[in-house]
Structure 1
């Protein structure tokens, strides 16, 4: 992963830490932990495209 992208993520999360975290927590995270956190916070974003406008379909 691009170090510039990782640093941008770190700065973003330091300015607006997720609920239950502090700026100090974000600052002390390893790059891998930061990327993992970002992935898990946004993993459902990809599902929105697959669900469709009406939601889940049951047949």
Structure 2
């Protein structure tokens, strides 16, 4: 559990200094720990899987 609290602190600092588009540092500060972890997950999720850039998989 301690590792999760440390991660949340690091993420809150990271996103407070450089908030995602459409968010403010105050909004980041007021987010719950779970909401912050969820936001980080979805911002960094690999939505295309391992196929990005492989031959035959292009979106124009």
Q: Assess same fold via TM > 0.5.
A: yes
TM-score range for the pair, normalised by the shorter chain length: 0.7 to 0.9
Q: Specify every segment of 5 or more residues in structure 2 that has no aligned partner in the other structure, as ranges.
A: none
Return the TM-score normalized by structure 2.
Answer: 0.77
Return the TM-score normalized by structure 1.
Answer: 0.78
Q: Specify every segment of 5 or more residues in structure 1 that has no aligned partner in the other structure, as ranges.
A: none
How many residues were matched structurally? 55
Structure 1's consecutive aligned runs of 4 or more residues displaced over 6 angstroms after TM superposition are none
CA RMSD of aligned residues (A): 2.2
